[in-house]
């Protein structure tokens, strides 16, 4: 999508503090971190939100949660202490960029409710 900031980051048109990249996913540091470790895991394919996953995206979803999340958590040093994954969907769900992205947060004790 031409005007999507995450599509532009994935295409290398907008700089980011990249921490991981492969053929289908890019992960980079959040510009407004809510924890010492706060990265966004973004599929390179434009998917508006979790509500817009299609059957053809099953492998991509599995790749994010089975391959990328554990690798990043280990690489960023948050596996043992624990971390939080957040996937906001839609305006009422707190999604601010209309491109699917998973927040990986760690490096401190997470509180409930999230804040």
Q: What is the 3-state secondary structure (H, E, C) of the chain?
A: CCCCHHHHHHCCCCCCCEEEECCCEEEEECCCCCCCEEEEEEECCCCCCHHHCCHHHHHHHHHHHHHHHHHHHHHCCCCCCCEEEECCCCCCCCCCCCCCCEEEEECCCCCCCCC
The question of whether 101 is a catalytic residue gets the answer: yes
Considering 38, 99, 101, 103, which one is annotated as catalytic?
101
Catalytic residue annotation: 101
């Amino acid at each position: 999508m031409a005007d999507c900031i995450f599509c532009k980051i994935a295409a290398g048109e907008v700089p980011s503090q990249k921490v991981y990249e492969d053929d289908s996913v890019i992960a980079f540091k959040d510009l407004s971190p809510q924890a010492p470790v706060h990265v966004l895991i973004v599929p390179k394919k434009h998917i508006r939100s979790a509500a817009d996953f299609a059957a053809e995206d099953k492998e991509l979803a599995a790749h994010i949660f089975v391959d990328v999340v554990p690798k990043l958590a280990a690489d960023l040093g948050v596996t043992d202490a624990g971390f939080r994954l957040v996937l906001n969907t839609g305006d009422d769900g707190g999604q601010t960029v209309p491109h699917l992205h998973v927040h990986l947060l760690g490096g401190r004790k997470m509180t409930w409710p999230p804040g």
